Amino acid sequence: MKKIVVLTGAGISAESGISTFRDSNGLWKKYRFEELASPGAWARNPELVLEFYNMRRKQLFEVKPNAAHYALVELESKYDVQIITQNVDDLHERAGSKNVLHLHGELKKVRSTVDSGLVYELDHWELKLGDKCEKGSQLRPHIVWFGEAVPMIGSAAEIASTADIVIVIGTSMVVYPAAGLIGYAKSDIPKYYVDPKASHFGGVSNLTVIEKKAGSGVPELVRQLLEG
């Protein structure tokens, strides 16, 4: 079975109703990430940080996977599919994808501030100041903030290096180290990039650009790969 590695970003969830970060209506156009998604922000104003992630978690309970998430599940009938996502939503899992690696953490998980190994699944949207881990420390969102290490990057790079085909969907490819993952893929394998503003991707060999929204571009590409 050939292995397809799929790198996804906020764009794949846009048609489910989740905002991207850098589009004109994106989250980082409305908010300053230094004030919401960094260790400094957490130290200065944990209540504000919790509120930001609570708002996004609440929304996650209200949205659904879209045609692009579901199309990637169909791909599993013919390929060994590994998804590496920068997204903190769980829409790939809810669509039914089997292998999903979250590079930047998961919105529905929280963790201890004294022991990063203590990770808990949250079955409701609100994390409050005063909610504690079993060791008595405040719980924080299980998110990789700006300035923090990306623990899964080594595994992700290894996976990318074993791909027979790479598909990149809905990411501006500006946040490192995630954006560097494509560089680990073999240069001679086919690579596809589905994004309505795909212009920001240069210097990648064997790249086919599909300038479409994920909801139409991904099902079309999947059909082509299943028929080919």
The catalytic residue positions are: 104
**Would you call 182 exposed, middle or buried from its count of C-beta atoms within 10 A (0-12, 13-18, 19+)?**
buried
- 9-28 mask for ligand OAD (x: CB under 6 A)? xxx--xx----xxxx--x--
Nearer to ligand OAD by Cβ, of 177 and 196: the residue is 196
54 vs 172, which CB is nearer to ligand OAD? 172
Q: Does 172 participate in binding ligand OAD (rule CB under 6 A)? A: yes
Compute CA 224 distance to the chain's CA centroid, rounded to the nearest angstrom.
24
Stretch that binds ligand OAD, among 74-82, 94-102, 111-119, 189-197 (CB under 6 A): 189-197
Residue 117 Cβ vs ligand OAD, minimum distance, rounded to whole Å: 20
Exposure of 93 in the CB half-sphere (CA atoms within 13 A): 12
Closest approach of Cβ 17 to ligand OAD, in Å? Answer: 11
Which residues on neighbouring strands pair with residue 121, listed in sequence order?
109
If the CB atoms of residues 164 and 178 are measured against ligand OAD, the closer one turns out to be 178
CB of 148 to ligand OAD, least distance (A): 8
Q: Which is nearer to ligand OAD, 53 or 79 (CB)?
A: 53
Name the strand (E) or helix (H) holding 68.
helix 67-74
Tell me whether residue 162 or residue 224 sits nearer to ligand OAD (CB atom): 224
Give yes or no for residue 153 binding ligand OAD (CB under 6 A).
Answer: no
What contacts 65, CB < 8 A, 6 or more positions away? 16, 91, 92, 94, 95
Q: Which amino acid is at 126?
A: E
Scan residues 36-75 and list those touching ligand OAD (CB under 6 A). Answer: 37
- CA-CA distance, 124 to 28, in Å (whole number)? 25
Q: What does 138-174 look like in DSSP terms, one character per residue?
A: BEEEEE--TTS--TTHHHHHHHHHT-SEEEEES----
What is the contact surface with ligand OAD in residues (CB under 6 A)?
9-11, 14-15, 20-23, 26, 33, 37, 86, 104, 144, 170-172, 175, 195-197, 213-214
